[in-house]
Structure 1
């Protein structure tokens, strides 16, 4: 039974991933900044208490991330086969190159770029103990350098930055047998994507799980969308 950690799992794509992984019988640790308010996630855990643990985590808080491995151990997880870095924010309301909320920009980078790397470093011993360990970070095509669109530039910049961080991480972890990839989940009907978005969370989740299953040790870090189509860096 694969052991999988999903961050930012209390709603949206993260919650859909947990639901789909539970359906196929995986063992999951799912994080939320405030587990007591993660009602949907707690309801899932109530139906599968032996396979789903809900854990508190703020990926932008170094102390919270530093304690993650210990909380996973308390939940009975001594290894991780898959890490899904899903936690993220859209950023401040003002994020134009001509009118920037710089504190909001810094927060966006802390969550979307530094957070995933902090989490990887915190659980790396567990990944090394896993079987054919894989790290998938949820990014966005909005971070592709092939796009010149300038709206939501803090969000775009944070995703472009995490793409590069994960690419470098793949170079460093590849020789240790850990595969790394980034994925665009699509324009998904979530609080972030809005209800007019084109992709249902469950469909995105199934596609992302398919990407995880196809990741192989020794391959360079790749960038695909939820349907499996390659996205330009």
Structure 2
């Protein structure tokens, strides 16, 4: 039975990924900050285990890595992320919010990826997926939302470097723009539903090969510009 580890699985895209992978017969290791408050996640049927994980906290990450030592992880899906404020200009930035956004959106996913690299290496598929955003694209930058944009740009570069470092060990890294998704973060009028986004990314992950390492893709598999 293949296994997926998902961060930020208590709502939105992460919750839908947990539901879909479980429905497809995968073992799901779902994480969130407070499992006690994640009633929708704990209600997901199938072979699903829910763990507490704060990606901002190195001790929390290491504790879970110790708990799951020896557990092969075919797909590590780094989905946890935040968008604290949508400041329209540099002058509007709260630097504390910016630092918090970078901690969760950049340092957190890389911290998790490195802590669980041996779990991924022990699997047959060896995939590390990351929820990024086309708002991190420099080529398609339209300005605004600086804290969020810069966090996703930095994540893309960090994952690209990670992919280069782990390439010779067979790990494939991929960054996804999940679409403008109808979630708490994306808003109620967003054009893409969480099920559509999750299904698209799952299908792309199933087709990944070595040449896709370090790639930046839309949820439907379309390549995106850096």
Tell me if both proteins adopt one fold, taking TM over 0.5 as the criterion.
yes
Which range is displaced more, 127-136 or 181-190? 127-136
Shift of 1:93: 5.2
CA distance in 2, matches of 1:131, 1:217: 13
1:67 alignment counterpart: 63
2:13 alignment counterpart: 13
* Structure 1 unaligned blocks of 5 or more: none
The 8 Å contact of residues 55 and 71 in structure 1, kept in 2 or not, is answered as no
CA distance in 2, matches of 1:104, 1:31: 23
2:222 alignment counterpart: 229
Q: 1:98-152 CA deviation, whole Å, 9 max, x = no partner?
A: 1110000000000000101000111111111111200010100000011232221
CA distance in 2, matches of 1:209, 1:2: 13
The 8 Å contact of residues 3 and 79 in structure 1, kept in 2 or not, is answered as yes
Shift of 1:72: 2.5
Q: Which residue of 186, 190, 201 maps to 1:197?
A: 190
Structure 1 residues 16-55: aligned runs within 5 Å: 16-44=16-44, 47-48=45-46, 51-55=47-51
Shift of 1:211: 1.4
* Structure 2 unaligned blocks of 5 or more: none
The 8 Å contact of residues 29 and 72 in structure 1, kept in 2 or not, is answered as no
Q: Which residue of 81, 93, 110 maps to 1:88?
A: 81
TM-score by length of 2: 0.96
TM-score by length of 1: 0.93
1:110 alignment counterpart: 103
Q: Runs of at least 4 residues of structure 1 off by over 4 A?
A: none
CA distance in 1, matches of 2:72, 2:211: 20
Shift of 1:91: 2.1
CA root-mean-square deviation? 1.3
Shift of 1:95: 6.3
The 8 Å contact of residues 86 and 147 in structure 2, kept in 1 or not, is answered as no
Which range is displaced more, 135-144 or 145-154? 145-154
CA distance in 1, matches of 2:41, 2:49: 9
CA distance in 1, matches of 2:155, 2:88: 18
